[in-house]
Amino acid sequence: MPTRPARRPVILCILDGVGWGRRDATDAVFMARTPVLDRLMAENPHTLLTAHGVAVGLPSDADMGNSEVGHNAMGAGRVIEQGARLVDAAIESGAIWATKAWKDVVACPTAHFLGLVSDGNVHSHVDHLRALIRRAVNDGVRRIRVHALTDGRDVSERSALTWIEPLEAELLAMSRRGVDARIASGGGRMTITMDRYEADWAMVKRGWDCHVWGVGRRFSSATEAIRTLYAEDPKTNDQLLPAFVCDPSSPVGTPLIQSGDAVVFYNFRGDRAIEISRAFSAGSVPFDRSGPSGEPAPVVTYAGMMQYDGDLRIPARYLVDPPLIDETVGEQVCQAGLRTLAVSETQKFGHVTYFYNGNRSGKFSETLETYVEVPSDNVPFDQKPAMKAAEIVDVVIRKMADYPDGTFSHFDAIRLNLANGDMVGHTGDFAATVGAMEAVDHALGRLADACAKTSAILLVTADHGNADLMFELDKAGKPQVVDGRARPKTSHTLNPVPLILVDPLREWTLAGPPAPPPTPTGAITQLGATVLDLLSVPIPACYLPSLVVPR
């Protein structure tokens, strides 16, 4: 049996949205010039890992992985039932309707349902919205309003009408039966409401003004709004649609939500739900919530689908208990007395902290943990695809350079997220995503060089796929062509993700026989035990097996 190597620093580098795709012209990862990734894979043990479906706690293998789930899985070391599955189960069992939160909602004369309308199952699912509306009517609510955020990010770029048209038809049928039900407002998820990590509070302000005060362009219906906006700008997509209001006769500033109403934010994922929840539940927000003429903000009965931040209790009222994640990697490392550095830019900072730590705000130890947030630029990601990859790696290398003797003794574990493949991939801009991958590759090269100098072990992996498939495919597996151009794919993929073990001392290797790509040999849930194994930290019994063994 090989002798266990002495502990050395371990760096977990998460290339967000970088899966293993078809390795053809649809794959921005493959088409980019990535000499560092190519070299690391050629010279070091590597494999592929599953990052979607039931392997990471999602309802089915048809469900794409995402950054929240991916970081939860890596930090938990095991399969945790995620938001989508928990909501499905609560609706199926009826437990959701027995909660005090739901009873508070249906006691109000008007119920507003705000959230993302698609079947992406990353932040929400339209079936959950339908279930909420139908049950509210059955429970006696006679005035229903939907505030519809269009997707185009976790689903096809112009697919909003797939869900909006039948939803409006169902609401119209309810109205004919005596229930005043309709879509009241809407807009694209990356234009209004769904900011995260306080990167762009102006988005939340635009959403608040639209949903609450009726500020937005007027249309007779959401269907008319979307069709008109498509026709006016053939290049726009659902995530970028401007705010609209579905009431052509009312003047701008007519309130849509009033004191005494109930508001349910039915997204289950937390990161893009916290800021709007703060606004509705009277938390502190950096914008004026009053109306155009100085009207005070309405006092409403507000509920989230889940509690999005358990430590800060945001929101206090919620319909489904969030996943309970204990014994996380971060906690185990602190209990062992080891020191951690977590680094990312704003767009993914909460992922290497909050989500990796099991949906926990704050630190396990103020003395043992250091978190560094590199501020993201507030510009469209396709305009600056390099994002902050270089600056993030600068932080890590600077910390390593503080210890030139090679002991690297200040931090035992480092985790960082390079967001480019995901954030630029979501734009659907192929050339920009190729550029993003090349920026990531250059940054990774600098990181690998620093690890070689300090004998730190480097794990290169990803949380899910995205940049690895940039075009929608037809039934024959070829890019769909619409109006003479290949139709961009802006959502995540079902592809596995790479894992590369870079050990300068060659003391560790991957466990088990390799499998030819694209066959995964494990799942990202096993990265928790892997990190602890490399750090010689006891692995909790609930964890899935480590992916590494001593040589």
Q: Which of 394, 309, 288 is nearest to 358 (CA)?
A: 309
Which strand (E) or helix (H) includes residue 303? strand 301-306
CA 174/CA 177 separation, integer angstroms: 5
Give the number of other CB atoms < 10 A from CB of residue 4: 12
Angle at which helices 67-76 and 527-534 pack, to 10 degrees? 40
> Checking phi first, is residue 74 left (phi over 0); if not, alpha (psi -120 to 50) or beta?
alpha
| Furthest C-alpha separation in the chain | 79
CA 121/CA 159 separation, integer angstroms: 14
Q: Three-state SS across 84-105?
A: HHHHHHHHHHCHHHHCHHHHHH
Question: For the residues of 344-382, what is the DSSP string, one character each?
Answer: EEHHHHHIIIIITTTS--S-S-TTTEEEEEEPPPSS-GG
Question: Is the separation of the CB atoms in 83 and 322 below 8 Å?
Answer: yes
Q: Which of 60, 67, 124, 277 is catalytic?
A: 67
- In the block, tokens 């070689």 appear at 452
Question: Is the separation of the CB atoms in 322 and 354 below 8 Å?
Answer: no
- In the block, tokens 């009207």 appear at 295
Which strand (E) or helix (H) includes residue 401? helix 389-401
Q: What angle do CA 5, 8, 11 make, to 5 degrees?
A: 125
CA 376/CA 392 separation, integer angstroms: 11
> Checking phi first, is residue 408 left (phi over 0); if not, alpha (psi -120 to 50) or beta?
left
Q: What is the phi/psi pair of residue 149, to 5°?
A: -90, 125
Q: Active-site residue 118, yes or no?
A: no
Q: Which residues have a catalytic role annotated?
A: 67
